[in-house]
Amino acid sequence: MPYYITTPIYYVNDKPHIGHAYTTIVADVIARWQRLKNEEVFFLTGTDEHGEKIEKAAFAAGTTPAVFVDSIVGKYTELWKILDISNDDFIRTTEERHIAVVKSFVKQLIKGGDIYKGEYEGWYCTPDETFFTKLQLVDGKCPECGRPVKRLKEESYFFRLSKYQGALLRFYENNAGFLAPEFRAREITNRVRNGLNDISITRKNVGWGIPFPGDESHTIYVWVDALLNYISALGWPDGIFARFWPANVHMVGKEINWFHSVIWPAMLFSAGIEPPKKVFAHGWWTVEGKKMSKSVGNAIDPKVIAERYGRDSLRYFMIREMPLGDDGDFSEKALAARINGELVDDLGNLVYRALTLAERFGGSISGTAELEKSLDLEGIMKCIEGLDLSGALEKVWSFIRASNRYINEKEAWKLSGEDFGNALYNLVEALRVISILIKPFMPGTSESIRKQLGIQAEGLDACRFKEFKGRIVKGPYLFEKVKA
């Protein structure tokens, strides 16, 4: 079964921060896990490049939007290389393949009678590119960011979102896994039950966008444009669309859940396309207990962190520290604690101790599987399929700790002959299985263990103890202690 997973396409008004890194690492772990199962995977990320906010940021930087977006997109593609992200494609909304799909999709909505011309009047927050009704404002300011809003009245084309209230509610009811995690399902369903307003889908005075088919004095609202990346990258209605659609998961931050869980499926209903199978809204990172914001200036640059602590350490930390769906806090102190404890003392130490013992053994590394019973393989698989990535790592680590205990309890360094061979067999097989299980999370570390064991790369079906056929070449410590 082909597996299609996406991140949101990131808005290129500024360089990436740890929130972007997190969503992309999460999607990467899931994509890599599916590949370990031998599934055919399509993992998409990309950049959202149109709209008023970018137009303004470009002018503020003294350049044109086209030049400006190119310079920021480079920071994203560079970061994904640094973080070892295995995306199969990278879509930019300024690409011709995307623009063509947006135009033909909108034409289809027009043909279906779901677009009409009207006049929009409301309070507009420029940084968020969002209109609000008077009731939504908080103390007369933007409810999202607290900045001042301006009253705007302009001609606009509308999408009949209100028409899809019943269809959406039926869809949620019949597809229990669509809205995730579960506690967000209630939130979205209640809001949809309260009624939906038609939404403005064009802007009249924003030049940096895709022209609205039939009335080029309008450009398509940046959110409509952006959502369509999920099918434009597949070459809808041709290309690989039939092979990979509907997407298995759209991984998104909670702030854009509404667009993905309500507006997007309604747009797809209107065009006669099946909605994705799941929209998963993850939580937010605070930094040292404070909300990340431009004004506080506490945004964390993931590139700097990856270079200082290692990419695999950062990947491990982000997945392990914040259960998917919850909020979490980023601090270098917490990162260092996990590196020094779980990566150095548990994993790094196990590999080093086991291979030091194996190195001085001349006999055959074979015996009976004793340690395997400490591995909860089904539990790990269940966690990942249920997108509990942190829980899966916790279970892998309890196996790592059991393996360290095994060395102590057996007093392996005192053994000789067959008993020594048997203890080593259990340890190297444990390491082989661990190297497979951590591969989606820490691809580089996995490869380094595999190389030291002298074995070929294997898939998830090789996670049971079997005959050990490696040629061990011990390497240096995998991780080093760090100071926070």
Smallest distance from Zn ion to CB 149, Å: 7
Q: Which residue's CB is nearer to Zn ion, number 124 or number 158?
A: 124
Q: Of the candidates 70, 88, 128, 329, which one interacts with Zn ion according to CB under 5 A?
A: 128
Note whether 256 binds Zn ion by CB under 5 A: no
Alpha helices in 239-388 (DSSP H): 241-244, 257-258, 264-271, 302-309, 311-321, 332-338, 349-359, 377-385
Note whether 145 binds Zn ion by CB under 5 A: yes
Q: Which stretch binds Zn ion (CB under 5 A): 134-142, 161-169, 211-219, 397-405?
A: 134-142
Distances (CA, A) of 130 to 6, 119, 147, 265: 23, 16, 12, 19
Q: Which residue's CB is nearer to Zn ion, number 151 or number 483?
A: 151
Smallest distance from Zn ion to CB 110, Å: 30
Note whether 137 binds Zn ion by CB under 5 A: no
Cα(351)–Cα(266) distance, integer angstroms: 51
CA dihedral 259, 261, 266, 272 (to 10 degrees): 120
Q: Which residue's CB is nearer to Zn ion, number 142 or number 168?
A: 142
Cα(471)–Cα(451) distance, integer angstroms: 9
Nearest to 27, CA basis, from 119, 89, 111: 89
Smallest distance from Zn ion to CB 14, Å: 15
Residues numbered 13 to 42 that lie near Zn ion (CB under 5 A) are: none
Q: 4: Cβ–Cβ under 8 A, 6 or more apart, which residues?
A: 41, 42, 44, 234, 244, 245, 246, 247, 248
Note whether 144 binds Zn ion by CB under 5 A: yes
CA dihedral 379, 381, 383, 386 (to 10 degrees): -140
Nearest to 9, CA basis, from 103, 81, 96, 72: 72
- Return the structure tokens found at 208: 């940096």
Q: Which stretch binds Zn ion (CB under 5 A): 138-146, 182-190, 260-268, 385-393?
A: 138-146
Q: Which residue's CB is nearer to Zn ion, number 14 or number 95?
A: 14
In contact, 403 and 427? CB cutoff 8 Å: yes
Q: Which stretch binds Zn ion (CB under 5 A): 29-37, 127-135, 277-285, 468-476?
A: 127-135
Q: Which stretch binds Zn ion (CB under 5 A): 23-31, 120-128, 216-224, 433-441?
A: 120-128
Q: Which residue's CB is nearer to Zn ion, number 125 or number 453?
A: 125
> 3-class DSSP state for residue 388?
coil
To the nearest 10 degrees (0 to 180), the angle between helices 311-321 and 443-453 is 120
Smallest distance from Zn ion to CB 130, Å: 7
Q: Which residue's CB is nearer to Zn ion, number 132 or number 468?
A: 132
Cα(459)–Cα(37) distance, integer angstroms: 6
Q: Which stretch binds Zn ion (CB under 5 A): 124-132, 155-163, 266-274, 336-344?
A: 124-132
Note whether 142 binds Zn ion by CB under 5 A: yes
Note whether 152 binds Zn ion by CB under 5 A: no
The footprint of Zn ion (CB under 5 A) covers 125, 128, 142, 144-145, 147
